[in-house]
Amino acid sequence: MSQLVLITGGAGFIGSHLADELLARGLRVRVLDNLASQVHGSDARRPDYLDCGVELMHGDVCDPAAVRSALRGVDAVFHFASAVGVGQSMYEVMHYTRTNNLGTAVLLEALIEKPVAQLIVASSMSLYGEGLYRTARGETRVVGERSLEQLRRADWEWRDDEGAQLLPAPTPETKVPALASVYALSKFDQERMCLMIARAYGMKAVALRFFNAYGPRQALSNPYTGVLAIFASRLLNDSPPRIFEDGWQQRDFVSVYDIARACRLALETPAAAGEVFNIGSGEACTVREIAQRLAAVTGKEHLQPEITGKYRVGDIRHCFADISKARDVLGYTPQVKLDDGLAELAAWLEGQAAVDRVAQASAELDARGLAI
């Protein structure tokens, strides 16, 4: 009988694409998901996009009985169950800590009782805080957090001691984490707990630090998730994308298909055990540019980005991936070009509806003094 793989949080965006990837390789897939309303809507029903070959168990990763039941007969686990959102994590602290930290602890205690061969955990680029920088002379610089005084005068960039602007550089896995939000802290906690417990109990664990994923099936009505999903929601409602700071901050946008492929490679590669990998495109793109490109492919060029000039607590300036380790060890090479990925996303969006909750989310941040 083929290998049985459990994906916690597997009814969501990335998890469902991973399920497709694993099914195509002949594996059996089980999903444990609480079908949270912020992601799936209020009816908590099985998503139409989830392959009929996936066994869905509706349950909470924080429920020990549900987790033990989901683990029966399982050979490998992908731990994707997580509350996602930098801004929201700064005021829904208990929810993020419960779901991400406690949920991981519940899973790990169940795995201590009944270990599996492999455990792969979804981590996040957010734990880096700021990415790596270099001076004009090519010297590496690691920076901290921008001061509130600097941010209030809309001086967004990092500078050296002489006042020259530092240049963003690809960020490798060796960069020391700088945890700027409760979400980042919880993802680092998930990552380290999984690697630690797996090593102690003879399981092979891998942590994958995802950068900014995009593609079909994103939760368009969730205003705290990926930036492209948030921009798409605005455009579908004939509203301009809203951008913090000046829009020139750089990020790494990676297709969900490439992420799913990287996850499968982590499962299949013995040398990955005990390691941490960046999973991104390896290319930088400004947030302003990504908003304009999405507007263009959706036929909404007239909806130019609204540049707020505000700073959101927990945000960083630049971060994009150095993917050389994933390339060397996993054999991972991104296959989806950004233009092609955006075109496919636009085609999928044509049949979608979204509730635009961006203004509501912004008001929450403003009320708590989390947007300056």
Residue 372: inside a domain, yes or no? no
Give residue-wise pLDDT tens across range 133-177. Answer: 999 999 999 999 999 899 999 999 999 988 899 999 999 999 999
Mean pLDDT of the chain: 94
Are the C-beta atoms of residues 9 and 33 closer than 8 Å to each other? yes
Closest CA to 11 of 24, 26, 30: 30
Catalytic residue IDs: 183
Give residue-wise pLDDT tens across range 286-313. Answer: 999 999 999 999 999 999 999 999 988 8
**Parent domain of 355:** 4-367
Q: The domain that contains 164 carries what CATH number? A: 3.40.50.720
Percent of the chain exceeding pLDDT 90 equals 83
What's the one-letter identity of residue 90? M
CA distance readout (Å), 56 to 3, 10, 11, 41, 263: 17, 9, 8, 17, 20
Distance, first Cα to last Cα, the chain: 56
Are the C-beta atoms of residues 64 and 110 closer than 8 Å to each other? yes
- Return the pLDDT at 43: 80
Residue 129: inside a domain, yes or no? yes
Beta bridge partners of 163: none
Give residue-wise pLDDT tens across range 328-356. Answer: 999 999 999 999 999 999 999 998 887 77
- Return the pLDDT at 220: 84
Tokens of 276: 């941490």
Q: ∠196-200-206 over CA atoms, to 5°?
A: 45
More confident of the two residues 313 and 184: 184
Residue 44: inside a domain, yes or no? yes
The stretch 79-91 carries a mean pLDDT of 92
Q: Could you give the number of structural domains in the chain?
A: 1
Which pTM value belongs to this model? 0.95
What's the one-letter identity of residue 73? G
